[in-house]
Structure 1
Amino acid sequence: MTAMRDETTGPVVAPREYTYRVRGRYPHDPQAFTQGLVWDDGVFYESVGLYGRSELRRVEAATGRVLDRRPLGQEYWAEGIALVGDLLYQLTWRQKRGFVHRKDDLARIGEFGIDGEGWGLAEHGGELIMSDGTDELYRPATGGRAQRSLARVTSGGSPVTRLNELQMAGGELYANVWYSDRVARIDPGTGVVTSWIDLSGLNPYPRDRCPDGAVLNGIAHDPSGDRLFVTGKLWPTLYEIEVVPCVEQF
């Protein structure tokens, strides 16, 4: 790609391309419409979507066994989650509300407002980053503050929309792109996509027998072991992966 220049932001650099190597496979509930995934001390916290089935779960990582669950209510469609200290923040899709849960028992102890739709959520430096399906990233309206825009996400100078599940890892924001097998790695300060990870081939379903909506969604990072986990909506498997270059790049 030929670098372009914007007088205010400087040269536009083509993102690097990566693929993956599977390091481990773990059971995952094929009835879970995964909207958000977080790792913490040997367990996953998982936000499960769909009306009438939305809930927050604590899941044993090694076995996929659901240790605890808290339904949201028939009127809510759950979306992304993030862990800040001992609190879990959970978005809803179109209900303009987010919920705050205690980590230890998943009890709901508070809520916050959402302008527009809620999609993905991640923690960065004790603060939250939210996506809403557009190319924009936000700071949600928690702690009595108003929701505010942080950055617009671009790849090679073009906007990237349908940003779904979010996860910070190694100082970068990882983002699923809905109905895509690609994950963007984003500079959270500028919104620029620094690289793409092609996860084609991970979906365990044959294309002609894939349940509706069973797409890649769910990213978790274990910082102590620097391990990266991914799964999808209605997938029976959760994968530990290593990100590797597609080709030698300079």
Structure 2
Amino acid sequence: MKKILFAATVLLTILAACNDNDASTTSPGDTGNSGNAAPPTIQYAVVNKYPHDTSYFTEGLEFYKGQLFESSGGNADESPYPSELGISDLKTGKVTPKVQLDKSKYFGEGITFFNDKLYHLTWTSQVGFVYDAATFKKIKEFKIPAKEGWGLTHDSTHLIMSDGSSNLYYLAPDSLKLLNILRVTDNNGPVANINELEFINGYIYANQWETPYILKIDPATGKVVGRIDLENLQKEAAALRPGADVLNGIAYNPATGQMLVTGKRWPFIYEVKVQ
């Protein structure tokens, strides 16, 4: 009888300890996956629509000195889209090409301007290009520090590149050497498919490929601190333009606060105001 009572006492003690452990590691708002809350949804409003060149398979979108630049990716074998970059006219939607790549060699990807230079990635060639931002003459080529080049932006001192994984690569603008790799994570762990990038007011905004989401990333930690759901815009683009592809393209004009978003072969560029 004593053995039974002793065993019951031990069992109750163990169960109580387990319950105490559970209570100490779970708090209101946790998801139960990693102990962190999911990134909050960031609200937005569409304040304007502009025509967009539907021949452009958008890879990069960026303001420079008040003008909107856009890059497109395509190759000779599989894609009818241009592999180039140029100035996008918000009144007509047409792009005036400034740089055209050899489609038999290069599939154009993300772009960014920094210190009066234009940086341009390619997809699988592991090559990037640097141009004079005034003349668009090529200054040099550089080796991309990943198997693929996707999105490109910059902060005050570095270029920041994505390769479709959860990694962001920090490069020195002059030497193009790799300085750091930042892993993007949310409450579920690493976040894959990081694509087109834009640095806005101290945060990295990133399209997540094959989703309608723009992620707001804290560059100090790599944490996703918010998410913009543009599913309604993606549905509208698909309804108006059969063949419209995924959301891709974020541009921010720091002089005016104007934020633009679009997608591959979308009929519109949307001006949005984010809360």
TM above 0.5: yes
**Aligned equivalent of 2:137:** 107
- In structure 2, give the amino acid aligned to 1:210: P
Q: Paired residue for 1:238?
A: 269
Query: Which consecutive unaligned segments of at least 5 residues does structure 1 have?
Result: 245-250
Using the alignment, how far apart are the partners of 1:195 and 1:19 within structure 2?
10
1:85 aligned residue: 115
CA-to-aligned-CA distance 1:124-152 (integer Å, 9 cap, x gap): 01310111111011124653353244311
Specify whether residues 209 and 190 from structure 1 end up closer, same or farther in structure 2 by C-alpha distance, changes over 3 A only: same
Aligned partner (choices 237, 240, 243) of residue 205 of structure 1: 237
1:2 corresponds to 2:30: yes
Match of 2:57 in 1: 33
In the TM superposition, what are the counterparts of 1:15-30 in structure 2 within 5 Å? 15-30=39-54
- Provide the rounded CA distance (Å) in 2 between the counterparts of 1:225 and 1:208: 29
CA separation of 1:63 and 1:145: change in aligned 2, threshold 3 A? closer
Q: Which deviates further from its counterpart, 61-70 or 229-238? A: 61-70
Counterpart CA distance in 2 for 1:72 and 1:200 is 32
The residue matched to 1:23 in structure 2 has which SS?
Answer: strand
CA distance in 2 between counterparts of 1:26 and 1:34 reads 15
Q: Give the equivalent residue in structure 2 for 1:71.
A: 100
Contact 2:241 2:267 in 1 (8 A): no
In proportion to residue count, which structure has more strand?
1
Superposition TM-score, scaled by structure 2 size: 0.80
Task: Give me the whole-angstrom Cα distance separating, in 2, the residues matched to 1:223 and 1:208.
Answer: 31
Alignment of 1:22-171 (within 5 A): 22-52=46-76, 53-74=82-103, 75-114=105-144, 115-140=146-171, 143-144=174-175, 146-171=177-202
Change in CA separation of 1:143 and 1:239 when aligned onto 2, cut-off 3 Å:
same
Match of 1:205, SS state, is: helix
Task: Kindly provide the amino acid, as one letter, of the partner of residue 90 in structure 2.
Answer: A
**TM-score normalized by the length of structure 1:** 0.88
What stretches of structure 2 of length at least 5 have no aligned partner? Answer: 1-28, 77-81
**Aligned in 2, Cα 1:206/1:91: closer, same or farther, shift over 3 Å?**
closer
Deviations 1:94-136 (A, max 9, x none): 0000001122232222111113110111110131011111101
| Mapped contact 1:56–1:106 kept (Cα < 8 A) | no
Partner of 2:12: none
Structure of greater Rg = 2
